[in-house]
């Protein structure tokens, strides 16, 4: 039996005219679409896009790994794989600060000389064994053993390790060092696997090639070339890690040089790589890529060796040389815009300034006042000596271009300049180590904490020290030492200002630029949060947050971790 209302509606529908049928049909479509729109809007308001696990990222790297071991890692290839496979007590945040990783708590003694860490209960190695205080003590003992010859040894020489219990370890420092939490990022080795190795066999262990760590990724497969050298590592997300990565698989392929990496990217054999030549970035940037440019904690400067050229002893002359360096033009011409000008010994930022005609005129007047009279295109003093400087740098295109541009600016004010370029190894061994240069254009890596002690304390004037300007200032020596032990943020900031302002005013060097870290990634990788870069492996510090896939989940089903992940991916 038909429902009367339904019968009436059907009757009315069949009695509609053709025009009324069209109008009725349009109204039905509009109502349906409107309803669907309201439902979609309701879903958008009541649900959240969250990352899901899955996907594969394949990156190309220059060089071949030998020691996937944080104790022995020497090359970028070593450090890149170590950063993925191993984990430390601490790690970097996106802003470059420190947060806990394998540790769940860190306590600092009142005198700042003891750091005590409590290890997470869920901190385990890839073989399922728990991370203990003994593993940490074992790792540091290897670093400190001179026979092992670890590149990290100098960071740990004056630190003793005390095992409190299975999950508690204390580090006793010879004096306060507020940057120690950065040092504590060192990856931890599983003692139960390494303890069967002798000190002399450590560097030959197969664990250096097929490592077992406690980090976000573990080795799934190793692909070797005809000579048996690993040229690709396939990694899989470690379910044992306390924060399992979203990207399920990561592959790293290794190449002999930068050109080979670039060719592999062009042919789509790899998805991404870092260290692209700045002038080629526009060509490599496609609809399927994203260019990530981050601050690189490196300072490129001209270090003046007053011992090897007496004209550089005059501070006003050094200031005149500094004033005419066209930093903005150098960044555009040599770095294609991928860099920032410097006004001091830290990779800070200042607005790019034009070198005006008045600046050049003032520099010329300074040289004249200093006794260097114009003589044609050059300048001579009363003894007939020519004002000349040799500018030495590495045979790297960006540095060669920078050196040539600086030479031109100095020649414009009457200085005779000779530019000498050498291969990096020869420059380091024959020029830098014996301090055999007049003016050196070179870059130095500043760690995340901004510790300037290695570069400007007078104790570092001779090799293997890093005081390339051979700078001596007793007040700065004191300030650098005080900065290292200061526990107050305000005190450290004040000391840092004093240090940078004094060095800049004394002009033992001309600070030119801090280059950018250029990272080419596929466009489908989202939330590629990367901290300020000191070494390239720092790019993986937050890789657990990267993802390629997303889904929508009703808000009522979200937990706190998923809500935070959604916020981070915005």
pLDDT digits (tens, 9 = 90+) for 202-234: 999 999 999 999 999 999 999 999 888 999 999
Which of 95, 97, 101, 96 lies closest to 83 in space, CA to CA? 101
**CA dist., res. 38 & res. 82, Å (int):** 50
Q: Chain-wide mean pLDDT for the chain?
A: 90
The model's pLDDT over 445-495, given as tens digits with 9 standing for 90+, comes to: 998 889 999 999 999 999 989 999 999 999 999 999 999 999 888 999 999
Which of 118, 233, 135, 113 lies closest to 484 in space, CA to CA? 113
Question: Quick one: pLDDT at residue 10?
Answer: 64
Residue of 488 and 133 predicted with greater confidence:
133
pLDDT band, very low/low/confident/very high, at 56 (cuts 50, 70, 90) = very high
Question: Quick one: pLDDT at residue 202?
Answer: 94
Report the b/e string of 121-157 with b at 16+ CB within 10 A: eebbbbeebbbbbebbbbbbebbbeeebebebeebbe
Question: Quick one: pLDDT at residue 189?
Answer: 98
**CA dist., res. 107 & res. 184, Å (int):** 13
Which of 474, 467, 363 lies closest to 413 in space, CA to CA? 363
Contact between 235 and 263 under an 8 Å Cβ cutoff? The reply is no
**CA dist., res. 413 & res. 361, Å (int):** 8
Q: What percent of the chain has pLDDT over 90?
A: 78
**CA dist., res. 355 & res. 517, Å (int):** 26
Residues 568, 239, 104: CA angle, nearest 5 degrees? 65
Residue 349 clears pLDDT 70, i.e. is over it: no
Report CA dihedral (232, 234, 240, 243) to the nearest 10 degrees. 90
> Phi-psi region for residue 476, left (φ > 0), alpha (ψ -120 to 50) or beta?
alpha
Contact between 531 and 94 under an 8 Å Cβ cutoff? The reply is yes
> What is the torsional sign of CA 441, 447, 451, 453?
negative
Question: Quick one: pLDDT at residue 279?
Answer: 85
- DSSP states of 296-363: B-EEEEEEE-TTT-GGGG-HHHHHHHHHT--HHHHHHHHSTT-EEE-SSSSS---------HHHHHHH
Question: Quick one: pLDDT at residue 5?
Answer: 59
DSSP state of 146: T
The model's pLDDT over 272-309, given as tens digits with 9 standing for 90+, comes to: 999 988 888 989 988 899 999 988 999 999 999 999 99
Phi, psi values for residue 551, rounded to 5° = -150, 165
DSSP state of 171: E
**What tokens does 301 get?**
């400067």
Phi, psi values for residue 522, rounded to 5° = -65, 150
Question: Quick one: pLDDT at residue 487?
Answer: 83
Question: Quick one: pLDDT at residue 467?
Answer: 97
Question: Quick one: pLDDT at residue 554?
Answer: 52
What is the average per-residue pLDDT within 133-162? 95
Residue 568 clears pLDDT 70, i.e. is over it: no
């Amino acid at each position: 039996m038909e429902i009367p209302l339904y019968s009436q509606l059907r009757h009315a529908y069949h009695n509609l005219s053709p025009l009324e049928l069209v109008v009725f049909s349009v109204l039905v479509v509009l109502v349906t679409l409107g309803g669907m729109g309201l439902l979609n809007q309701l879903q958008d308001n009541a649900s959240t896009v969250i990352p899901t696990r899955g996907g594969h990222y394949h990156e190309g790297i220059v060089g071949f790994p030998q020691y996937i071991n944080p104790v022995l890692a020497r090359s970028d290839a070593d450090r890149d794989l170590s950063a993925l496979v191993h984990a430390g007590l601490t790690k970097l945040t996106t802003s470059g600060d420190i947060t806990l990783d394998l540790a769940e708590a860190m306590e600092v003694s009142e005198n700042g000389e003891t750091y005590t860490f409590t290890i997470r209960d869920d901190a385990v190695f890839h073989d399922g064994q728990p991370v203990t205080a003994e593993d940490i003590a074992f790792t540091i003992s290897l670093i400190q053993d001179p026979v092992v010859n670890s590149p990290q040894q100098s960071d740990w020489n004056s630190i003793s390790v005390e095992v409190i219990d299975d999950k508690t370890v204390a580090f006793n420092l010879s004096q306060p060092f507020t940057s120690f939490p950065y040092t504590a990022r060192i990856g931890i080795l599983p003692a139960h696997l390494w303890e069967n190795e002798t000190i002399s066999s450590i560097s030959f262990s197969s664990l250096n090639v097929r490592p077992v760590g406690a980090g976000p990724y573990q080795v799934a497969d190793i692909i070797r070339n005809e000579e048996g050298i690993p040229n690709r590592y396939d990694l899989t997300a470690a379910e044992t890690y306390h924060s399992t990565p979203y990207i399920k698989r990561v592959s790293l392929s290794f190449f002999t040089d930068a050109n080979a990496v670039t060719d592999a990217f062009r042919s789509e054999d790899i998805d991404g790589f870092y260290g692209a030549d700045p002038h080629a970035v526009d060509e490599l940037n496609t609809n399927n890529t994203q260019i990530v440019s981050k601050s690189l904690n490196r300072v490129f400067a001209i270090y003046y060796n007053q011992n090897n050229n007496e004209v550089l002893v005059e501070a006003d002359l050094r200031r005149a040389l500094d004033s005419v360096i066209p930093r903005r033009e150098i960044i555009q011409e040599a770095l294609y815009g991928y860099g920032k000008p410097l006004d001091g010994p830290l990779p800070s930022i200042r607005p790019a300034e034009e070198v005006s005609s008045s600046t050049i005129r003032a520099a010329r007047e300074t040289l004249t006042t200093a006794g260097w009279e114009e003589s044609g295109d050059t300048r001579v003093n009363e003894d007939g000596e020519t004002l000349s400087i040799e500018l030495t740098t590495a045979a790297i295109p960006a540095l060669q271009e920078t050196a040539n541009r600086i030479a031109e600016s100095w020649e414009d004010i009457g200085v005779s300049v000779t530019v000498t370029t050498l291969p990096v190894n020869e420059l380091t061994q024959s020029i830098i180590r014996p301090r055999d240069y007049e003016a050196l254009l070179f870059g130095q890596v500043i760690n995340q904490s901004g510790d300037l002690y290695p570069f400007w304390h007078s104790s570092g004037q001779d090799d293997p020290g890093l005081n390339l300007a051979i700078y001596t200032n007793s007040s700065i020596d004191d300030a650098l030492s005080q900065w290292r032990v200061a526990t107050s943020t305000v005190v450290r900031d004040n000391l840092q200002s004093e240090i940078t302002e004094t060095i800049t005013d004394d002009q033992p060097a001309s600070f030119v630029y801090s280059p950018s870290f250029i990272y080419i990634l596929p466009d489908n990788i989202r939330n590629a949060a990367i901290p300020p870069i000191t070494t390239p492996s720092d790019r993986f510090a937050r890789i657990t947050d990267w993802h390629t896939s997303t889904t929508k989940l009703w808000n009522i089903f979200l937990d706190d971790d998923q809500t935070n992940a959604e916020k981070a991916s915005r």
